[in-house]
Amino acid sequence: MHGWKSGMPRTPGVWRVMAGFIVWALAFVVLYVGHALGCLYVPSTLTPASLTMLLTALWALHLAACAVLTQRSGRRSCGMRREGNGTVQARFMWRATFLTDALALLAVLVTGLPLLAFPVCQA
């Protein structure tokens, strides 16, 4: 059996490596579908400013989630390098996880920038 032993450093799995881009995909869908449906079905109850605030809050929530993932993987990667423990594979996987999380954070940031640059629901 190939289980994790208490003395061995844990390596991130494939799902953890992809977690940042899963958050980005979720942010992309939520922001753009929320924008489209908000402009189509809710113009009588919501003003464009309140829709912008709602979408910006959702964007900030996704940014925070990506920032937490990036911070945790960065701390783990630096800790393994500083302490010199772990296999080469474990250090590589945590470094790759940190880089993918940082790129996903940048992607979430760029995805939401049009919310700040352009007014919503303009005819």
How confident is the model at residue 69, as a pLDDT? 96
Give the E-state strand segments of the chain in sequence order.
none
Decide if pLDDT at 47 tops 50: yes
Decide if pLDDT at 1 tops 80: no
Cα-based distances in Å from 70 to 16, 51, 53, 61? 11, 29, 25, 14
pTM of the model: 0.84
Q: Tens digit of pLDDT for each residue in 57-109? A: 999 999 999 999 999 999 988 887 776 767 788 888 889 999 999 999 999 99
Residues 6+ apart with CB under 8 A from 102: 20, 70, 74
How confident is the model at residue 55, as a pLDDT? 94
Both tokens of 14, joined, read: 């494939």
How confident is the model at residue 9, as a pLDDT? 55
Decide if pLDDT at 8 tops 90: no
Residues 6+ apart with CB under 8 A from 33: none
Interatomic CA distance for residues 48 and 42, integer angstroms: 10
